[in-house]
Chains A and B, each alone.
Chain A
Amino acid sequence: MHSYASIEEFARFDTVTFYTLRGEENVLSETDDFFERMGKEEFYKRQRNRLVQWIVEIGNDKWGANFELFRPERICVALPPKGKYLDENIDLRLYCHWVSKNVVILFNGGIKTANFAQDCPNVSYHFYNAQGWTKQLIEIGIETDGPAITNIEELYLKY
Chain B
Amino acid sequence: MASKIFAEMLAKVEPEDRQFVQKNLAISYQVRAILDNHPTIHSQKDLAEAMGKEPSEISKWLSGLHNIGLENITKMEVALGQDIILTDEQARERYGKVDKESYRPFQTIHCAGKADQSDLTGEVVKEGNVKGRSILLKSTDQEEKGISELAY
Contacts and interface: CB of A to CB of B under 8 A. Distances in A.
A80 B65 contact: yes
Contact of A35 (B9, B65, B66): B9
Interface string A26-42: 00110110011001000
Contacts of A147: none
A86 B2 contact: no
Interface in B28-86: 56, 59-60, 62-67
A84 B60 contact: yes
A28 to B, nearest CB: 8
B65 to A, nearest CB: 4
A91 B100 CA distance: 46
A140 B20 CA distance: 39
Interface stretch (B10-18, B89-97, B142-150): B10-18
A85 B6 contact: no
B63 to A, nearest CB: 4
B8 to A, nearest CB: 8
A151 B135 CA distance: 38
A50 B2 contact: no
Nearest to B61: A85
A52 B63 contact: no
A50 B19 CA distance: 10
A69 B64 contact: yes
Contact of B132 (A49, A57, A60): A60
Contacts, number: 87
B59 A84 contact: yes
Interface in A48-68: 48-50, 52-57, 60-61
Nearest to B3: A10
A81 interface: yes
Contact of B65 (A10, A11, A54, A61): A54
A53 B60 contact: no
A57 B13 contact: no
Nearest to B13: A49
Contacts of A85: 59-60, 62-63, 65-66
A57 B3 contact: no
Contact of A87 (B14, B17, B59, B65): B65
B134 to A, nearest CB: 13
B9 A48 contact: yes
Contacts of B120: none
Contact of B12 (A49, A82, A87): A49
16 contacts: A9-B2, A11-B1, A11-B3, A12-B1, A36-B5, A49-B12, A52-B9, A53-B18, A54-B65, A57-B64, A60-B131, A60-B132, A80-B65, A84-B59, A86-B60, A87-B66
Interface of A: 8-12, 14, 20, 28-29, 31-32, 35-36, 39, 46, 48-50, 52-57, 60-61, 69, 80-82, 84-87, 90
